[in-house]
């Protein structure tokens, strides 16, 4: 975490002078100097850095130039929108990917498998902006059954959720297929068949539980990526999420917002990884994570 915090700080300082963006074009030299002083940019780098770290430790990332509010507040607001979208998309992706990946494995090299895996390849390679625009065109403009963009009602979730989840689901389905196939070749599956277990028990306890670890890993990482903001999708649908916020903040050299967003994202990744490790242990008793 400290590494992330420091790198963000240094990179941002290299990116140019924020005051030149904040200050009105006709600002006098005195005004600029005053602004610089107000935000502490007149201090040497190490002083800025010490203040910055001290602030973070107290949960204070400074004030946004752009919004005049504490940066952390702005980030958390946007994070809510991103999180709900990411969670919806991930849930849909899992619901789609697990059964389809499993079916594909079961009917390996049969027509169903080829169709599903071709679709998965398509889902994987289709750029989200294209998919998003196509969806808007069909469902919002032609059929008029979903809003084109923005956020607010439940209906606003549909198109962006589908857009994000299709790519994720495609990836997960391919993963599920290969893991299930690998598990099917294991000797204990033959034992389970010899025991004449009910189909359901065979699939859940024996196949899926053993195939789960790599699937959970990929799902977790993708969830993390979604949480840091799906910039393209957010832009296409005008979704007020973290991705667009950061993009905007970088453009305006809104240091404190970028710093806050990156730190929160890093924190999310750390928490998520810990959660995935915890899930590993639940799934496989042979794994002991300290």
CB 228 within 8 A of CB 242: yes
Asked if 114 touches another protein (CB under 8 A), the answer is no
Residue nearer to another protein on the CB measure, 60 or 113: 113
Nearer to another protein, 111 or 285 (CB): 285
- 187 contributes a contact to another protein by CB under 8 A: yes
**Residue 186 in the binding site for another protein (CB under 8 A):** yes
What's the 3-state SS for 17-47? CCHHHHCCCCCCHHHHHHHHHHHCCCCCHHH
CB of 284 to another protein, least distance (A): 5
Residue 111 vs 198, nearer CB to another protein: 198
Q: List the x/- string, 197-236, binding to another protein by CB under 8 A.
A: xxx-xx--xx--xx--------------------------
Burial of 278 (0-12, 13-18, 19+ CB in 10 A): exposed
User: Binding to another protein by residue 193, rule CB under 8 A?
Assistant: yes
Shortest Å distance, C-beta 109 to another protein: 8
Checking 20-27 for CB contacts under 8 A at 24+ apart, the result is 21/65, 21/252, 21/253, 22/65, 22/252, 22/253
CB of 191 to another protein, least distance (A): 5
Which one, of 57, 80, 66, lies nearest residue 249 by Cα? 66
Residue 36 sits in the site that holds another protein (CB under 8 A): no
Q: Which residue has the tokens 């890093």?
A: 266
Q: Which of 232, 266, 245 is nearest to 9 (CA)?
A: 266
Chain positions 166 to 185 lying near another protein, rule: CB under 8 A, are 184-185
> SS3 for 182?
helix
114 or 190, CB closer to another protein? 190
What is the contact surface with another protein in residues (CB under 8 A)? 108-109, 184-188, 190-199, 201-202, 205-206, 209-210, 283-286
């Amino acid at each position: 975490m400290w590494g992330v915090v420091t790198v963000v700080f240094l990179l941002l300082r290299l990116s140019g002078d924020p005051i030149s963006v904040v200050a009105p074009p006709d600002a006098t030299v005195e005004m600029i100097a005053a602004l610089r002083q107000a935000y502490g940019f007149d201090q040497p780098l190490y002083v800025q850095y010490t203040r910055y770290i001290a602030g973070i430790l107290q949960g204070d990332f400074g004030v946004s130039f752009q919004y005049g509010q504490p940066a952390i507040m702005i980030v958390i607001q946007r994070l809510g929108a991103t999180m709900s979208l990411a969670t919806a998309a991930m849930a849909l992706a899992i619901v789609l990917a697990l059964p389809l990946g499993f079916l594909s494995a079961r009917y390996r090299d049969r027509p169903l498998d080829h169709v599903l895996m071709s679709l998965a390849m398509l889902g994987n390679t289709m750029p989200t902006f294209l998919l998003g625009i196509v969806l808007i065109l069909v469902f919002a403009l032609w059929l008029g059954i979903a809003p084109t963009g923005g956020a607010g009602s439940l209906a606003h979730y549909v198109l962006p959720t589908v857009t994000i989840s299709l790519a994720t689901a495609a990836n997960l389905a391919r993963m599920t297929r290969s893991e299930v196939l690998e598990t099917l070749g294991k000797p204990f599956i033959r034992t389970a068949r010899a025991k004449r277990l009910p189909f359901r028990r065979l699939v859940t306890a024996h196949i899926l539980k053993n195939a789960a670890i790599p699937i959970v890993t990929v799902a977790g990482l993708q969830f993390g990526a979604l949480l840091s903001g799906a910039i393209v999708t957010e832009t296409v649908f005008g979704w007020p999420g973290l991705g667009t916020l950061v993009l905007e903040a970088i453009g305006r050299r809104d240091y404190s917002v970028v710093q806050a967003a990156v730190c929160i994202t890093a924190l999310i990744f750390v928490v998520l990884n810990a959660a995935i490790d915890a899930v590993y242990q639940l799934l496989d008793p042979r794994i002991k994570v300290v």
